[in-house]
A = this chain, B = another copy of it.
């Protein structure tokens, strides 16, 4: 075999990498539990048709598809797909279990999603998202609950300065209307506006002109949506019904989150979310020191019906944990070693028995499993394992009925009766922090 790497865009995690990730997952899940969300997990794959027409063209091209099995494999056709996000599977599950769930239903999940994006530094094909969704509530309180929970999740992860950039699909529709942009150009115009967080205004103006807007309209639209205050946009939105409704959505959500730190939630008229399924308020979170957005969400009132369910309002949000972990890993490496390393100098059955006693008392214990009978080599192994204590039970100890205990911090050695070693070290464990 030539290549023995994990597949492109995926990673193995070993030891403390896994523990550090689990700690972050547990922190966020505790927050979501405190906010009254219920865990709901779905399979890693769904029927292919579950995703059809839900995500938009770009996202759909990034789905990992699974070949039919058995005799159908030869057709080369796929019938299943790895989940692209947690929202579509959650909607499918809500449709499946509708009658079991008490509505409004609040769910969370912290698990992998898969996207066949071009692999790049910090961009993965398998990555964890922390998702929350509320089904069956049209109340602005539900949108606010999502923002509050995501806010607490980000704080629990140690992210300091961050901003929810808030907008509304309705407001965007009203904005296009106010500027006299025909419906058939809408999606592409919004696609261009979405680039304003990275591209220079004149680049976007040129692109809009290419797409069929007059330069005057393109220039005033771009100038208005990137203005530091939103006054001009607010004025324009006031001229259409959808614009007024969208602005009202934005303002209610601003009011319900005003106890968050000042400036935490900001009306950002240029903000457009890529996914097709949003219908109401939408938001993205950017943070100082983190590339791109670290969280996003919005309201998607039509998705449940699209998946064969009843007409059911819904909203949600997710934290893109990987970008946060990537920054923090560099900052805070932690290491966890063994409590006890047991050398093997004969008497294997007694060693195995001693290991059992130590583990029964909750001590992380490993037995030397290499081929060397030399103590120096075994001590080297114990050091690599970052063991706190190393135990020796050679011929002398066997004769005396004792075990030599070496404290790897102090370097001190002591003799302890074989029968007392486990209790003795468990006590030492409890007394030293």
Contact = CB atoms under 8 A, between A and B. Distances in A.
A414 interface: no
Copies in the complex: 2
Nearest to A135: B369
Q: Please classify how large the interface on chain A is, using the bins under 10, 10 to 19, 20 to 34, 35 or more.
A: 35 or more
A348 interface: yes
* Overall SS of chain A's interface: mixed
Given A66-B67, A116-B69, A308-B4, A45 B10 contact: yes
A364 B67 contact: no
A95 B5 CA distance: 8
A418 to B, nearest CB: 14
Contacts of A308: 1-2, 4
A33 B336 CA distance: 11
Interface string A68-83: 0110010111101010
Interface string A26-63: 00000101111011111111110110000000000110
Nearest to A80: B7
Interface stretch (A166-174, A194-202, A218-226, A253-261): A253-261
A366 interface: yes
Contacts of A69: 62, 64-65, 116
A19 B37 CA distance: 12
A227 interface: no
Interface stretch (A144-152, A243-251, A284-292, A326-334): A144-152
Contact of A70 (B14, B116, B351, B363): B116
A385 B395 CA distance: 64
A4 B305 CA distance: 12
A104 interface: yes
A12 interface: yes
Interface stretch (A229-237, A267-275, A353-361, A400-408): A353-361
Contacts of A36: 338, 364-367, 385
Nearest to A14: B40
A304 to B, nearest CB: 10
Given A148-B352, A353-B259, A18 B39 contact: yes
Given A1-B307, A12-B96, 19 more contacts: A4-B308, A5-B96, A7-B45, A14-B100, A14-B101, A18-B40, A34-B359, A44-B44, A44-B114, A61-B70, A67-B67, A103-B370, A139-B370, A139-B371, A141-B352, A145-B367, A148-B352, A256-B348, A256-B349
